[in-house]
Amino acid sequence: MVKLTWENKKDFLKNISKLKSTYRDYYKRIEVIFQKKEVNNKQDRKNMLFWGDNLKVSYHLLNNFEEKIDLIYLDPPFFSGSNYNISVLEGDTKYDSIAYFDCWNKDIDSYLQMLYERIVIFKKLLSKKGSIFIHLDWHASHYIKIILDEIFGKNRFVNEIIWYYYNKYSAGKKNLPRAHDNILVYSKSSDFTFNEERIPRIKPIKQLKRQMVNGVLKNVKDVNGHVIYRTVTDKKLDDVWRIPCLQPASKEWTGFPTQKHHDLLERIIKIGSNKGDLVADFFCGSGTTLMVADKLNRRWIGCDMSEYSIYLTRKRLINIRNNEKKPTNLNSFNEAYAHIDEEKEKIITSGFFEKDLKIKKK
Ligand SMILES: C[S@@+](CC[C@H](N)C(=O)[O-])C[C@H]1O[C@@H](n2cnc3c(N)ncnc32)[C@H](O)[C@@H]1O
């Protein structure tokens, strides 16, 4: 079997029992962001937002969530070589800050190691019917596909979805404009959740009416022996998705750089999970996956190490609950967790999360 190697490639599975117990009590609940009145206190009924490094968070989760997560969506840094800045407006004061880093000094080895060791653990968290959707682009998707073959097995490859964002592209002088991302999909077992999605056709078409007769697909005929046509207005969703990049004019826009379109996440969550399932996003950014999972009555776990990400996700969660016209079917309570070190303590005591910040992409 073909395997990718890089400098200092290692997997931490040998030490997993130790890591699991080291991080068992590492995270403490820092806030109940929202609680519905009729909540019952079952561990698996809560939605959890972690502020911290997702590797440590995944070691922690192995204690209670091994084989419990039904769908994982990952939108990690892409090895783009840029850092993502934001411009923050607080009252009349404006300042620039880094939302997250994606500069690796051209060091693909450490980037691959970063994703490899996480994906190995995320696989352990996936339930038997679970699948993982990993969002990348031309910078590293070709490497990560080989790594996924190694971790999940070539037979667990489901799809490579091309997200064609027709409203934004980066044109170089000597290459065609790049206008798509790649989303690699792998399943934990052969018996995984996969819901077919249908989308409207641009123009309705006439199609022969057919039916299965003794295992063979046959044309349906009328009493005079003529074939029958039907008008079809939709079609099966294929693996090329035409969805725009989110524009600042959208009411969903948070200002977080690389915020993904909610329609993209809606498709992924509908295909890969059912109502009541547990969905996780370990690079949750502005929280798009969690918002959509919530709307679609899935339970969720989110994680990010950037305080701006946690700020925006928390704010979006509070807004959806406040604007909820009809309550969701699930008893849900949303909690935030962190390991409070000196730096986090400083951020919390400065009142950062309660501030009214306006965030703009730089
Ligand atoms: C591409 S953005 C995600 C955007 C998100 N899908 C959205 O719609 O807003 C990647 C995120 O991964 C986070 N991140 C990077 N490395 C991380 C790590 N080791 N642990 C947790 N979060 C991480 C960054 O802070 C950033 O918010």
CA 257 to ligand 1 center in whole angstroms: 10
- Domain span at residue 319 reads 13-194+238-361
Which tokens go with 86?
């934001």
- Report whether 288 contacts 23 (CB < 8 A): no
262 and 336 inside one domain: yes
Which regions in the chain score pLDDT beneath 70?
Answer: 35-45, 106, 169, 325-332, 361-362
Q: Look at residue 39 in the predicted model and tell me its pLDDT.
A: 46
CA atoms within a 13 Å half-sphere pointing along the CA-CB vector of 55: 12
Among residues 209, 236, 263, the one where a domain terminates is: 236
In 3D space, the residue among 258, 241, 308, 246 whose CA is nearest the CA of residue 82 turns out to be 258
Angstrom distance (rounded) from CA 65 to CA 132: 16
Which protein residue's CA is at the shortest distance from atom 3 of ligand 1? Answer: 285
Measured CA to CA in angstroms, residue 187 lies from 26, 143, 169 at distances of 30, 18, 31
Angstrom distance (rounded) from CA 273 to CA 293: 9
Among residues 236, 265, 291, the one where a domain terminates is: 236
Which tokens go with 204?
């309705």
173 and 210 inside one domain: no
What residues flank ligand 1, with Cβ below 6 Å? 53-54, 75-77, 100, 256, 258-260, 283, 285-286, 288, 303-306, 309
Residue 110 inside a domain? The answer is yes
Angstrom distance (rounded) from CA 120 to CA 263: 28
Residue 2 inside a domain? The answer is no
Residue 7 inside a domain? The answer is no
115 and 171 inside one domain: yes
Which ligand 1 atom lies nearest to the CA of residue 78?
1
157 and 218 inside one domain: no
Distance, C-alpha 247 to centroid of its chain: 19
Angstrom distance (rounded) from CA 289 to CA 287: 6
Residue 1 inside a domain? The answer is no
- Number of domains observed in the structure of the chain: 2
Please name the helix (run of DSSP H) or strand (run of DSSP E) that holds residue 65, with its range, or none. helix 54-65
Q: Look at residue 115 in the predicted model and tell me its pLDDT.
A: 97
pLDDT digits (tens, 9 = 90+) for 247-286: 989 999 999 999 999 999 999 999 999 999 999 999 999 9
206 and 106 inside one domain: no
Residue 95 inside a domain? The answer is yes
∠320-324-327 over CA atoms, to 5°? 120
152 and 270 inside one domain: yes
Which CATH number fits the domain that encloses residue 113? Answer: 3.40.50.150
203 and 217 inside one domain: yes
CA 52 to ligand 1 center in whole angstroms: 11
Which tokens go with 276?
């009541």
Residue 336 inside a domain? The answer is yes
CA 281 to ligand 1 center in whole angstroms: 9
Which tokens go with 62?
């192995």
207 and 261 inside one domain: no
Which tokens go with 205?
């078409």
Residue 8 inside a domain? The answer is no
Please name the helix (run of DSSP H) or strand (run of DSSP E) that holds residue 19, with its range, or none. helix 16-22
Angstrom distance (rounded) from CA 280 to CA 127: 12
Which ligand 1 atom lies nearest to the CA of residue 254?
9
173 and 313 inside one domain: yes
What single DSSP character describes residue 170? B
CA 98 to ligand 1 center in whole angstroms: 12
296 and 249 inside one domain: yes
85 and 227 inside one domain: no
Among residues 179, 207, 236, the one where a domain terminates is: 236
Q: Look at residue 197 in the predicted model and tell me its pLDDT.
A: 96
215 and 263 inside one domain: no
∠329-281-163 over CA atoms, to 5°? 100
∠202-203-209 over CA atoms, to 5°? 120
Residue 329 inside a domain? The answer is yes
Which protein residue's CA is at the shortest distance from atom 14 of ligand 1? Answer: 283
What single DSSP character describes residue 176? P
In 3D space, the residue among 92, 133, 87, 88 whose CA is nearest the CA of residue 269 turns out to be 133
